[in-house]
Structures are given as C-alpha cells and as structure tokens.
Amino acid sequence: MFIFWYNLCFFRLSNTTIMKNILLLLTASVLLFSCTKPKGKVSLTYNKATAVYGVLNEVRNQPLLIPQQPLENPGKIYVGNDYVLVGEKGKGIHIFDNSNMTNPIRFSFIQIPYNKEFFVKDNMLYAESLYDFIKIDISDVYHPVIVDREENVFGTPLTNDKGESLIRFNYTVATDEFELNSPEAKEIERKGKLHIDYKGKLIPESSVPTSFANSNNGAGTLNRIAVDFGHVYILTGSKLHVLDNTSTALSYIDNINLSEGMETVYTYDNKIYIGSQDGVLTYDASTPEKPSKISEFNHTTSCDPVLPNGTRAFLTLRSVENQGCNYEGENTLNVIDMSDEDEPVIAQSIEMNTPYGMAIINNYLFVGQGENGFSVFDISSDDEIEEIATVTGLVAFDIMQHPTNPNILLVTNSYGIKEYNIDYSTFVVSPIGTINY
C-alpha cells in the first residue's frame, strides 16, 4: 500500500516542466507524508502490576504463631471478651491482651500470609490467605490452631516457567506506548492498570485470581466474610463464594457471579445482604448452599455499609474525597423498608456529615461520622427513626460493642482503637484505654 501511493504521487511529477518539477518536488514530500499512514501508537500512563512468583508450599507452611510484630498497616478489627484482634494487611493478625482495658498489651502475632479479610464466630477465626481459605480455632486465642485449609478457593495459581506460583504483584506507575485498540490499551482504558506476567505479557483481568482483588478493610458493618446457616460466604470483587462449614471442615461449593463494585456482606434472618457501590442485593439463604436473588435496590454510587434489622435495613452513603467514594454523591443514612422483599423502598432519608460504619446496641443505631464523632438514633419503634444524640470531640470510623459489657464501646479511627464507657441516659462517653496503631 505504501509503494502504490508513493508511485502514484511520483507519476504526477514526472510529466511537468523542470521548473514545475522543482516546485512540485517540494510538494511531493508533503504528498508523500500525507500518503503514508501513521503508525497506530498511543502513549499511556497506568498502574503497572508486575507479577512476583514463589513456592506456594513455603507460603502455606509458615508457622502460625510468632512473636509480636510492628503494627504498621492496620485492617480488620475484632473485639473479644478480654482480647482484641487487629489485622495487619497482607501479613496476619495482632493479638492484644485487653484484660486490663486501661493498658492493652500487644501479645503475639497470628501469621496469615497475604491476608486481607478475617471473621470470627464461635471461637473460630476464618481468614483468606492468598489462594486459600483457612479456619483457625481460637478458643485459646494465645495458642491458635489451624483446623482446616481449603486450597485454591479463589482461583487456580498462575505459574511461571520454573513452576513457581504467582504470590503477589509489585505496583508502579508507568508510561509506555501501546498499539491503538490493543488488549493492553483497552485494559488501561477500562481499569487504569495492567497485570504483567513473567514474560512481560498481559494477564487479562478475568484471569487474575480473585484473591488479588481490591478489598475494603474495616470492622463491624464493613465485612466481606459472613459465617451463618452452616456456611461461609466470602465476597471478592464480583463473586460471592460459598463454602460448607461443619464443626471443623470447610468444603468449597460454588460461587455466584455478581457485578463489579461489591463491598460488604451481612447475614440476617435467612437472608444475605450485599452492599455494592450503587445498591443493595438481597439473597434468600433458606437453601444456604445455593442462595437465590430476591431483590436489588439501587442508589447513588457511593460507599455504603448495610445493616439489616427486622423488616428494615440501614444504609449509609458517603461521598468523601480521598476515601474511595464518589465525591459528587450524597452523605445520608437511608432507612429501607424491606417488608416487601421483592420491592424494597426508601422509607426515610437523613442527611449526615460523613457516615461510616454502624452498630445496633440496645435499640439504638450508632453511626460513625469520622472526624464528626458519632450519631445515635432511636430505632425502638417501627415509626421514623429519630436522632437523639450526637457525640463529638472524637473520631469514629466504626463502632463496636464489647461482647460482654454493653456499657463499653470500642471506636476505631486512623490512630487506633479507643475504648469508652457510655451512659445511655445521657450518651456521655468517658475514655478507658487505647490500642495505638
């Protein structure tokens, strides 16, 4: 094609006078340039995720309990009777002796490589670990024991030419040239990032095991693991994984494909509630191994824990800059009427400053408001809920009740966990102790 257009342009020049040839010779260069198609390249800046490989059995066989470690990147939090568990993103879980609340002591560390999420119920700790899902007996929390490991729950390991498994990605910001409309260019346009294997080739997003999906770490209502109905439900990106859960063993059953943007999962009254970036999905779990979708309630794209309670569900929408939410959205607490399971509707919408996590304690709904403290609502009747107190002068991302003392609240913030006594007649709180990050 290039030669054809070049000869055509040159032929037009060959039948003119010498002077015209001189003038047209200059024009020919322009014609020649215009007749040559440009190469289809585009320069793109993107997040480059380069695969790192290792021996998977070495990852799996690391000792479970090791001495205390520095707390550098806190994640999930669980409050026990006289202890507190604080996740260290990607590494495991710190054990704090909280028997003396005025002076919590970091005791030891449960090593769970590449862990992002964990959940505790009935003295069992459930946690993801790279491709696997594990169940740990913490009836003696200071001497935890793995009782079962279900391997490759989150996908088949990708391997390199040495037989090593993909164990993580190193992330950098890169600027490179790509062919127009190439798979790489399309992936960057969709996701803003590329996963690159040991050959320097693209790993399609659909082939990346779900254990590498992003997750929101938090506590209370910000869970991505739920344990109920004799089963475990794990939310990873756009899938809900279902595992059978007997007294000791785990057994993978199946997964449910969801749309992208799923954030939280919560079980209540034979139902599973899934909070997404733009809605709430309700699934019937009367057949727990195969949940079936009942309804979908859509709302403005935002950050949204969901907390069901009877025929109502409470949903916070947050639009805070730099918090992974839609900055142009709304800041509200919505009360959803779930009495008609097929068609849930908003019964009440309350404007808030910066709503985060929620907790129901003694017929009160507590809503963390970050730098703005927390709000308390009376939910004792079926009428519209009413805000009865606002507690300021503290930072509250999420709120939890002490498991055996209802007069003690634990409040999370960017710096640690604050423990407070609360007077329910006045909603005045007084500090007890702090677990610092």
d(CA 333, CA 317): 6
Mean pLDDT, contiguous 10-residue spans, the chain (437 residues):
35 42 43 48 95 96 96 90 94 96 95 94 95 97 97 95 96 95 92 94 87 50 87 91 91 92 87 83 96 84 72 81 54 90 90 90 93 95 93 93 91 90 96 90
Element (H, E) at 234: strand 231-236
d(CA 168, CA 172): 13
User: What one-letter code names the amino acid at 170?
Assistant: N
d(CA 376, CA 350): 12
Structure confidence at residue 144 (pLDDT)? 98
Burial class (CB within 10 angstroms; exposed 0-12, middle 13-18, buried 19+) of 289: middle
Query: What ranges do the domains of the chain cover?
Result: 2-37, 42-54+164-212, 356-437
User: Which residues are registered as beta bridge partners of 409?
Assistant: 401, 420
Total residue length of the chain: 437
Residues 274, 240: contact at Cβ < 8 Å?
Answer: yes
Residues 96, 105: contact at Cβ < 8 Å?
Answer: yes
DSSP 69-129: ----SEEEEEE-SSEEEEEETTTEEEEEE-SSTTS-EEEEEEE-TT---EEEETTEEEEEE
Cα–Cα distances (Å) from 118 to 87, 129, 190, in that order, read 8, 10, 30
d(CA 133, CA 151): 7
pTM: 0.82
d(CA 419, CA 384): 30
